[in-house]
């Protein structure tokens, strides 16, 4: 495990929406540099930046046309190198978003691959032998060139899948991961990593990390693929970090990733927490966290200490927290997010309660996600301090509400969401029992009931976390593991202080959270 990951708190930046410095209405690298001190003062010591490479932006930069060139709208390679340097000056780290499962149709590799004549890029992508053949369960491009065959795509129809081979092959055009085409694709991925790691980035968040080797039902081929990548990194860049968008931590960590995200789709029940009809963190108190916690503990057990499971506040693919939670409910939700194991990931603007902007037309493949990608709201002035461009030239419209939240109004204001998040991050950093790799146990999570409780522990301390998002107080017996809680000296409280009823039960106030030391465990 990379040592700095032990207490890393990440801030996700969507570069086109963060800060514009040249007045074109689109965020840029210089804007990120301008706001690094804000991120540092918030308490975040690591950054995940969404794709910033050359692209036609049919999918907001997840359709790359040149892996070795920064997107001109953000700046130059030199600007990006300066960003890396400025991050490191502040004792922070930065991960780039690596999209190596597919490219844009405009990538020169794909343009060469479309030619009927055999060349070094013919097998860089996955082509059937006949234009009339559409593999079962796959989407394809067809009739787009003189080359016979249809080409597999990974997501949108303008994102042809790079060829890393098939684990189980059922057609003659399906290649083994050890065939020349897939091996060349792997070597090019290493070259891309080499280029940016040598320039100064600290690693990568890998998009769709599970999708590399095709027809791989148990992910054995994909795990083997990433093991090769990890071995390359250990040899040449031993400090590089890999974070996966996979959603199956046991597989991702076996493949060599240091961390894996819990995703908002699939079996994680992550949406049960914040984004469903009855979220657990709503003060209505009608949610259910049991299925989430059961699945989380199952995955936590599978990691066997090999890496971290990350629970994000949100990201560019999800609805904003504020679409379903009030600012006060969000404070309690952050008490959970910033006390669980694994590296926390804060999506830009969640710390001030930025809202999902309703009714926007899709922008760059955003569709229903577009409302979560609007410009960062820094102040009350022109364009919320995001850009000096005319409003109609902004990357996306701002939240039109007169009471839209902004940094300037919340910074230094006692009781604001921003200050509560800052306080929670500081408390997390001050207590190793709350760090990313400290253990979790003593889970109290009942079906359709409140509160939620768990114990975080390391060699020097143990802290009980008790969270009751519902607005009704609860009287519960949390069990023997909680018997020695030091209720008189809580590390953190919001919404009222816990107490004992004198009969072995605890009274947990409504809409509250508390981090309470367990006596006799503090070194």
Is 66 inside a domain boundary? no
- Reported as a single tens digit per residue, the pLDDT across 186-236 is 999 999 999 999 999 999 999 999 999 999 999 999 999 999 999 999 999
Q: What is the pLDDT of residue 262?
A: 82
Is 321 inside a domain boundary? no
| C-alpha–C-alpha distance, residues 267 and 8, integer Å | 26
Is 244 inside a domain boundary? no
**C-alpha torsion 264→308→354→423, nearest 10:** 150
Is 449 inside a domain boundary? yes
pLDDT at 517 > cutoff 70: yes
Question: Are the C-beta atoms of residues 473 and 506 closer than 8 Å to each other?
Answer: no
39's CB contacts (< 8 A; 6+ apart) are 11, 47, 92
Question: Are the C-beta atoms of residues 290 and 446 closer than 8 Å to each other?
Answer: yes
- Reported as a single tens digit per residue, the pLDDT across 270-315 is 999 999 999 999 999 999 999 999 999 998 988 877 778 999 999 9
pLDDT at 268 > cutoff 90: no
- Reported as a single tens digit per residue, the pLDDT across 327-357 is 999 999 999 999 999 999 999 999 999 999 9
Of the candidates 161, 185, 207, which is a domain's last residue? 161
Is 54 inside a domain boundary? no
Domain count, the chain: 2
* Residue among 256, 269, 258, 359 at smallest CA distance from 310: 258
Question: Are the C-beta atoms of residues 409 and 403 closer than 8 Å to each other?
Answer: no
148-161: average pLDDT: 97
* DSSP states of 197-240: HHHT--EEEETTGGGSSBS-TTSHHHHHHHHHHHHHHHHH-TT-
Q: What is the pLDDT of residue 281?
A: 98
Confidence category of residue 523, pLDDT binned at 50, 70, 90: very low
CATH (domain of 444): 2.60.40.1180
Confidence category of residue 48, pLDDT binned at 50, 70, 90: very high
Structural domain harbouring 149: 102-161
| C-alpha–C-alpha distance, residues 50 and 365, integer Å | 14
pLDDT at 485 > cutoff 60: yes
153's CB contacts (< 8 A; 6+ apart) are 102, 139, 140, 141, 159, 160, 161
Question: Are the C-beta atoms of residues 45 and 7 closer than 8 Å to each other?
Answer: yes
Sign of the alpha-carbon dihedral angle for 144, 150, 156, 161: negative
Confidence category of residue 1, pLDDT binned at 50, 70, 90: low
Is 420 inside a domain boundary? no
Of the candidates 161, 177, 212, which is a domain's last residue? 161
- Both tokens assigned to 265: 């789709």
- Both tokens assigned to 309: 């499971």
**Is 122 or 135 the better-scoring residue by pLDDT?**
122
State yes or no: cis peptide before 150, omega within 30 of 0.
no
| C-alpha–C-alpha distance, residues 505 and 482, integer Å | 10
pTM for the structure as a whole: 0.97
The helix/strand/coil state of 388 is coil
Question: Are the C-beta atoms of residues 42 and 423 closer than 8 Å to each other?
Answer: no
9-35: average pLDDT: 98
| C-alpha–C-alpha distance, residues 314 and 296, integer Å | 17
| C-alpha–C-alpha distance, residues 523 and 521, integer Å | 6
Q: What is the mean pLDDT of the chain?
A: 96
The helix/strand/coil state of 151 is strand
Q: What is the pLDDT of residue 2?
A: 82
Residue 398 burial (CB count, 10 A): 17
* Residue among 43, 11, 40 at smallest CA distance from 434: 43
CATH (domain of 131): 3.90.400.10
309's CB contacts (< 8 A; 6+ apart) are 249, 259, 260, 261, 262, 296, 299, 300, 303, 341, 342
| C-alpha–C-alpha distance, residues 450 and 288, integer Å | 8
**Nearest 5 degrees, angle CA 498-CA 503-CA 505?**
40
Of the candidates 116, 145, 161, which is a domain's last residue? 161
The helix/strand/coil state of 73 is coil
Confidence category of residue 521, pLDDT binned at 50, 70, 90: low
* Residue among 96, 67, 100, 69 at smallest CA distance from 197: 96
Is 478 inside a domain boundary? yes
Is 483 inside a domain boundary? yes
pLDDT at 385 > cutoff 60: yes
Q: What is the pLDDT of residue 342?
A: 94
């Amino acid at each position: 495990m990379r040592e700095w990951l032990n207490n890393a708190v990440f801030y996700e930046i969507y570069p086109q929406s963060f800060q514009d410095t040249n007045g074109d209405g689109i965020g840029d690298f210089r804007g990120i540099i301008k706001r690094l001190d804000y991120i540092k003062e918030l308490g975040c010591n690591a950054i995940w930046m969404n794709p910033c490479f050359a692209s036609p932006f049919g999918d907001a930069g997840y359709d790359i046309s040149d892996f070795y060139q920064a997107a001109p709208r953000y700046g130059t390679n030199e600007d990006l190198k300066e960003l890396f340097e400025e991050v490191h000056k502040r004792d922070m780290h930065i991960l780039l978003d690596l999209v190596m499962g597919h490219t844009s149709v405009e990538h020169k590799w794909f343009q060469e691959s479309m030619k009927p004549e055999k060349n070094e890029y013919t097998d860089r992508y996955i082509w059937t032998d006949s234009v009339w053949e559409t593999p079962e369960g796959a989407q394809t491009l067809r009739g787009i060139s003189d080359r016979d065959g249809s080409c597999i795509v990974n997501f949108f129809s303008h994102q042809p899948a790079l060829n890393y081979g098939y684990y189980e092959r059922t057609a003659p055009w399906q290649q083994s991961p050890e065939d020349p085409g897939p091996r060349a694709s792997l070597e090019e991925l290493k070259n891309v990593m080499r280029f940016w790691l040598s320039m100064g980035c600290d690693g990568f968040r890998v998009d769709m990390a599970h999708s590399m080797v095709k027809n791989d039902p148990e992910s054995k081929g994909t795990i083997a693929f990433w093991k090769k990548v990890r071995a390359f990194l250990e040899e040449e860049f031993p400090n590089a970090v890999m974070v996966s968008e996979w959603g199956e931590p046991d597989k991702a960590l076996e493949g060599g990733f240091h961390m894996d995200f819990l995703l908002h789709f699939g079996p994680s029940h992550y949406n049960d927490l914040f984004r469903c009809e009855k979220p657990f963190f709503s003060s209505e108190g009608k949610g259910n966290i049991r299925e989430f916690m059961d699945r989380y503990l199952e995955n936590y057990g599978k990691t066997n200490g090999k890496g971290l499971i990350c629970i994000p506040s949100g990201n560019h693919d999800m609805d904003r927290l504020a679409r379903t939670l009030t600012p006060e409910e969000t404070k309690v939700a952050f008490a959970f997010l910033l006390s669980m194991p694994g590296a926390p990931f804060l999506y830009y603007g969640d710390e001030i309660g930025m809202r999902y902007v309703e009714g926007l037309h899709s922008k760059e493949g955003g569709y229903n996600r577009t409302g979560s990608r609007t410009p960062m709201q820094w102040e009350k002035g022109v364009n919320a301090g995001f850009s000096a461009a005319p409003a109609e030239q902004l990357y996306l419209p701002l939240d039109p509400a007169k009471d839209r939240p902004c940094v300037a109004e919340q910074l230094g204001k006692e009781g604001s969401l921003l200050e509560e998040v800052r306080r929670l991050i500081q408390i997390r950093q001050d207590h190793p029992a709350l760090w990313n790799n400290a253990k979790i146990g003593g889970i109290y999570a009942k079906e359709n009931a409140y509160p939620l409780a768990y114990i975080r522990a390391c060699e020097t301390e143990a802290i009980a976390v008790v969270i009751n998002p519902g607005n009704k107080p609860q009287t519960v017996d949390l069990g023997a593991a909680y018997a020695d809680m030091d209720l008189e000296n809580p590390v953190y409280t919001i919404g009222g202080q816990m107490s004992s009823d004198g009969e072995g039960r605890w009274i947990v106030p409504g809409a509250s959270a508390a981090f309470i030391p367990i006596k006799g465990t503090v070194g």
